[in-house]
Structure 1
Amino acid sequence: MKIIHESLLLDMKKLTAEDRATMNETILEQHSKDESHHSPVMPDVVVFPISKEEVASILKFANVHQIPVVPFGVGSSLEGHCIPLKGGISIDFQLMNQVIEVRPEDFLVRVQPGVTRTQLNQALKKYGLFFPVDPGADATIGGMAATNASGTTSVRYGIMRDQVRDLEVVLADGTIIHTGGLAAKSSSGYHMTGLFVGSEGTLGLFTEITLKVYGIPEHIAAGRATFPSIKEAVDGAISLLSAGIQVARVELVDPYSIHQVNKHSETDYPELPTLFLEFHGNEAGLKHDIQFAIELLEANGCNGLLFETDSKKRSILWEARHQLAYAFKHGHPGKEMMLTDVCLPLSELSGTVVYARNVIDQSGLVGGVLGHVGDGNFHSILMFNKKDPVEVKKANDVNEKIVEYALAKGGTCTGEHGIGIGKMKYLKKEHKDTLPLMKMIKQQLDPGHILNPGKIL
């Protein structure tokens, strides 16, 4: 389908109260990509709505004229979710960034989709509350809901799907619906909120999100534990969980990744398999948990332990983990980064992490292994030259081997990054029984296939 660009721009301007549609080349280029290695594709026009009514008007128009529509947050996704593969309209939600209502007594907050994670926690702090889902990037809440994001704290607080109570969704034809409510639980009908969370913009666009929030912990302690081997590090993490210790974060970083951290952040951490840990609770409880944790970790071969309660020192400790992807990027200029993202039963985790490390070593590619081992989710960072067909094939082969191994062990092809462009063939294998049902739902809600076409299915 050929889109007449000038006509489309004029139509989009008519659907917004002000001049908030553009075909500026720089802005189009910014909306052609995300943080993934997937090739950019330019949209025809970018629109910046300020209300659900404007979003509904844009979708009604697009549905009638069969124009693709792709939502955009801050572009931090990792599987090409916001790349407009078929051109059309990129809807940027950055102007819909209001924290609409905080309900401290209900531990709930209502936000627009363009609110970022950092912005939300700044607004919640004065109420003694925080939102725990931490994917690393300062992503928008809309994008995090769309991809069912999780991250470092999911072992304690759960993933994005666990936090969303209600969604205001604009469907492909412009209809506005709500999927849930304010109650902590409901047995009323199908769980529509759970269906839309993780749908990656293929079933509807979120214009309002109601989230569960939590009290800021009385005390927080962060730690770093080193081990002689990856297996011992993973087994150490599992021992903490099996003992019932209230771990808020437990992250694995392998020796090569620690090497990159040291180069990038000018730290001098021992270049050994390392667990980054965090505990939340009251002072007395934390002292007990930390002492018990030390005993368990040492029993699993831990040869170096450090705990910090000072907030600045804790931030420095976690900054090294959060900056890891950028450490690899800056350390290997000219190369692209591919991130694998599998999740497994805890009983299969250590074997799979060791397998992933071996596959990377055998490929000859630069790469590291890291992840949220407390919930069975880990990543491999692979650096490759996108212009070299041999390296591209090696990276794809490593990714495929890790995913196939995870699926064979009862795992999933993506624990948190989503399907997007890169994982579609694995979705078909993982969900061969239910894939026809997914296609039926897509067809019912978006018969014209205008919503983020070319993603998931």
Structure 2
Amino acid sequence: MTPTRWRIRNSTLYPKNREVKATTSILEREVLIDKLAEIVGSENVVTIDEALEEFSRDHSFVKPVKPLCIVYPKNKEEVKRIVRFANEHEIPLVPVSSGPPHLRGDTVPREGGIILNFSKMKKILKIDTRNRTVIVEPGVTFGELVPELEKHGLKLNMPLLPRASKSVLTSYLEREPPLMPKYQFDYVDPLLTMEVIFGTGDEFRTGTASGPGSLEEINADMVNPFGPGDVKYFKLLSGAQGSFGIVTWAMVKAEVAPKARKIYFIPFEKAEDTIEPMNRLLRYGVMGSVADEIFALNNFNLAVILADKWPDDFEALNKSLAPWTVVLCLGGYRRAEERIKVQEKCLMDIAQELAFEPTPYLPGAPGKEKLLIQLLSRPWEREPYWKLRAKGSCAEIFFLAPPSKVTQFLHVVPEVAAKHGCDISSIGGYIQPIVQGHAYHVEFDIPYDLSDDKEKEIAQKVFMEASEELIRLGAFFSRPYGAWADMVYSRYAEGTSIIRKLKDIFDPKHVLNPGVLSII
């Protein structure tokens, strides 16, 4: 018997193989729920309107679409069965691993369908202290993994203050920039091998985790992400926003936790002035990088992060902090104090050469140094999330640029914001060197009040216009979320054709997050 093909309209399933009329009978949602409940259990299928509404939108400008239901798989076999069921009936699946808030539109179901929520797949499968690796399922968050690694003397190369509910696997799969560029040797670092269910429902493992048998049976260290063969499958999945496959576990690198740490600050008047000092600090003779964590924040973002009592502390800090501050942490491991002294000597040599003044005290906020070290060691656990503290919502504009061209892009967002009457002093700035300083992640955070239609409209205009101008100037949007997908792929005809062919191979029915990349 040929299975019925269904298409979605207004969160209702309609048969695809016959014309939809006003009198045409529709598949009752209860039938779909029953079929999914047979796979995961009725308690793991949610249809409550409040829950569906939460997943219909986020803090991006992506058009809201309400999903049909939310399904919570508990293991790989359930994921495979759900993917095959979706293929049989051509129902979209949108994988979600992190808890709210969501900021970028990648979890909004563009064509409706089923939210595949991995928050119940929370196993830390293995912590390998010898190889400094950890294997996690997609539901494991930074708030859960960081304390466990601390017990083993390890730490993660985390992005800047991820929310505690952020999936570790998703963060690294989406190439969020880590704070320690000295330990990042490729743009997908620290992600290593992984297990994936492709859109066909087929199971696959990448790199040295590939081959028949269970993880225990293959008896491999699984640290090499390349392969099998000459194909780098992990790069196909990285940054794809769940549109090629669903990762059910991944191995990521961990680092040895330092025995001692010391933080330094370098104040600057302009964003452009931060680049050369960071370049030099990342490349100093045989030592390589002088610092472990190294990044730059403007006064707005640094004040948002450090403020205790809101808004009084924030307003005071925003006024007293330097316009831009480079933050760097020195780490001591074996012979910790001696190592830090050597790093300090290198830091002072570079400071003398480039005429800047590093200080262990935060200019404009003395006494906050210990707090910042603590914050950088863990995810953000307070509510609201730090990017939402100012006005309740935030539009992110971020891109990559080589060190030689970073300064060419730093003026764009402030100029466009000023053009539209936006207060440029209320825009957050963040500059993060990545891949040992071979590139820079540049980010501007535009806060706005979601309930204020005019303010939201201005933020959206700034977001769209600044993004278009940055792309025109050559900024590289390597993670094209939301409206960026159209901007990027409309300029990349050859790559677009290849991506579509790959989609037809690995997800021929286009059930995995359709529309998220605009072209597939």
Query: TM-score scaled to structure 2, two decimals?
Result: 0.77
Corresponding residue for residue 445 of structure 1: 506
Counterpart selection for 1:291 from 345, 370, 375: 345
Which piece of structure 1 moves more, 176-185 or 289-298?
289-298
Aligned pair in 2 of structure 1 residues 328, 161: CA closer, same or farther (>3 Å)? closer
Cα shift readout 1:40-91 (whole Å, capped 9, x = no counterpart): 3221111111111111111111110111100111245432111112221111
Counterpart selection for 1:15 from 27, 36, 39: 39
Corresponding residue for residue 249 of structure 1: 293
Aligned pair in 2 of structure 1 residues 332, 162: CA closer, same or farther (>3 Å)? closer
The reply on whether 1:217 has 2:258 as its aligned counterpart is yes
Residue 317 of structure 1, CA deviation: 6.4
The reply on whether 1:380 has 2:439 as its aligned counterpart is no
Query: How far apart are the structure 2 equivalents of 1:221 and 1:358?
Result: 37
Give the letter aligned to residue 238 of structure 1: N
Residue 307 of structure 1, CA deviation: 5.1
Q: What stretches of structure 2 of length at least 5 have no aligned partner?
A: 1-6, 14-27, 210-221, 435-439
Query: How far apart are the structure 2 equivalents of 1:98 and 1:85?
Result: 30
Alignment of 1:40-55 (within 5 A): 40-55=64-79
Query: How far apart are the structure 1 equivalents of 2:449 and 2:67?
Result: 26
Cα shift readout 1:102-125 (whole Å, capped 9, x = no counterpart): 222222222111011232222222
Aligned pair in 2 of structure 1 residues 149, 387: CA closer, same or farther (>3 Å)? same
**Other structure's SS at 2:389 match:** helix
Query: How far apart are the structure 2 equivalents of 1:117 and 1:130?
Result: 11
Give the letter aligned to residue 287 of structure 1: K
Does the Cα contact within 8 Å between 1:407 and 1:430 map onto a contact in 2?
no
**Other structure's SS at 1:13 match:** helix
**Other structure's SS at 2:272 match:** helix
Aligned pair in 2 of structure 1 residues 156, 84: CA closer, same or farther (>3 Å)? same
Query: How far apart are the structure 1 equivalents of 2:509 and 2:160?
Result: 32
Corresponding residue for residue 398 of structure 1: 462
Alignment of 1:8-407 (within 5 A): 8-17=32-41, 19-73=43-97, 74-137=99-162, 138=164, 139-154=166-181, 156-157=183-184, 161-180=188-207, 181=209, 182-184=222-224, 186=226, 188-243=229-284, 244-258=288-302, 260=304, 262=307, 264=311, 265-266=313-314, 268=317, 269-282=320-333, 283=336, 284-297=338-351, 300=354, 302=356, 305-306=359-360, 312-315=370-373, 318=376, 326=385, 329-332=388-391, 336-366=393-423, 367-375=426-434, 376-384=440-448, 394-407=458-471
Residue 400 of structure 1, CA deviation: 4.3
Counterpart selection for 1:426 from 474, 487, 491: 487
Aligned pair in 2 of structure 1 residues 250, 408: CA closer, same or farther (>3 Å)? farther
Does the Cα contact within 8 Å between 1:222 and 1:276 map onto a contact in 2?
yes
Does the Cα contact within 8 Å between 1:340 and 1:380 map onto a contact in 2?
yes
The sequence identity of aligned pairs, in percent, is: 19
Query: How far apart are the structure 2 equivalents of 1:152 and 1:360?
Result: 28
RMSD: 3.2
Query: How far apart are the structure 2 equivalents of 1:240 and 1:402?
Result: 30
Corresponding residue for residue 6 of structure 1: 30
Does the Cα contact within 8 Å between 1:246 and 1:280 map onto a contact in 2?
no
Q: What stretches of structure 1 of length at least 5 have no aligned partner?
A: none
Does the Cα contact within 8 Å between 1:8 and 1:45 map onto a contact in 2?
no
The reply on whether 1:412 has 2:470 as its aligned counterpart is no
Cα shift readout 1:244-274 (whole Å, capped 9, x = no counterpart): 3332222222244445555655574524221
Query: How far apart are the structure 2 equivalents of 1:212 and 1:320?
Result: 17
Query: How far apart are the structure 1 equivalents of 2:415 and 2:79?
Result: 48
Residue 401 of structure 1, CA deviation: 4.8
**Other structure's SS at 2:504 match:** helix
Query: TM-score scaled to structure 1, two decimals?
Result: 0.87
Cα shift readout 1:9-40 (whole Å, capped 9, x = no counterpart): 11111111452111012222232234434343
Query: How far apart are the structure 1 equivalents of 2:185 and 2:170?
Result: 17
Does the Cα contact within 8 Å between 1:79 and 1:420 map onto a contact in 2?
yes
Query: How far apart are the structure 1 equivalents of 2:463 and 2:255?
Result: 36
Aligned pair in 2 of structure 1 residues 305, 368: CA closer, same or farther (>3 Å)? farther
Give the letter aligned to residue 199 of structure 1: A
Residue 326 of structure 1, CA deviation: 4.7
Aligned pair in 2 of structure 1 residues 52, 84: CA closer, same or farther (>3 Å)? same
- Rg comparison, structure with higher value: 2
Query: How far apart are the structure 2 equivalents of 1:114 and 1:150?
Result: 20
**Other structure's SS at 2:515 match:** coil
Residue 100 of structure 1, CA deviation: 1.0
Does the Cα contact within 8 Å between 2:95 and 2:513 map onto a contact in 1?
yes
